[in-house]
Amino acid sequence: MRLVIMGPPGAGKGTQAARIVDRFSVPHVSTGDIFRKNLKEGTPLGLKAQEYMNKGLLVPDEIVVEIVRDRLVEKDCEKGFLLDGFPRTAAQAVALDGVLKEMGMALDYIINIEVPREVLVERAVGRRVCTACGATYHVKFNRPDRTGTCDACGEELIQREDDKQRTVEKRIAVYLEQTQPLIDYYSGRGLLINIDGAQQIERVWEQIAGVLA
């Protein structure tokens, strides 16, 4: 089973990705993890990527695609994988299709977790994080026993800068703008499976598992 999982910040993509990996015994191929591994090990591709990053430039698609390809040819991906964080654009999707075709593979499904913008904002803006132990709470959905205080260690809870409303709204807007052509591309190929991510976590999982079963 060869899958891609997509979803805006706050959609619960990480939770569902972990469940897919566990249920279907496929590796979770996160481009963020791949990049960090290549940079840490100083691979030729990692060093090439580092040159662009040091200049504050985006890493070109051809390097990103090659790094992903190197990961997909590893033995644990022979029976499938879950791609997370790639592709991000229609151009990358076309390149990925070419790479998979060369490998005699093709994607089975694109799991796209959809959540209304206002729900995403509410989820993020209401999040509170412990300054000491990192435990997370929510002012509406997961309140601490004492407002502003961590249940686990008694330290202060804060709202991260990334969770301020203006920042959240901008991040979501950028995601939606960038990924719409990608969604259109996969929809046109009949691979896109839209999942209602505004539901309870278990219900979201039931929908995903029902498609993949």
Long-range contacts, 179-183 (Cβ 8 Å, 24+): 179/6, 179/8, 179/88, 181/89, 181/90, 182/6, 182/87, 182/88, 182/89, 182/90, 182/92, 182/93, 183/6, 183/112
Comparing C-alpha atoms, which of 23, 27, 43, 26 is closest to residue 35? 43
Query: 23, 140, 160, 164: which is the annotated catalytic residue?
Result: 160
Which DSSP state fits 77? G
Q: Does residue 166 carry a catalytic annotation?
A: no
- Per the residue annotation, which of 2, 123, 127, 128 is the catalytic one? 127
Q: Catalytic annotation on 88?
A: yes
Annotation says 160 is catalytic: yes
Report the candidate in 54, 85, 45, 99 with the shortest Cα–Cα distance to residue 182. Answer: 85
Catalytic residue among 37, 48, 69, 88: 88
Q: Which of 2, 13, 71, 123 is catalytic?
A: 13
The catalytic site residues sit at: 13, 88, 127, 160, 171
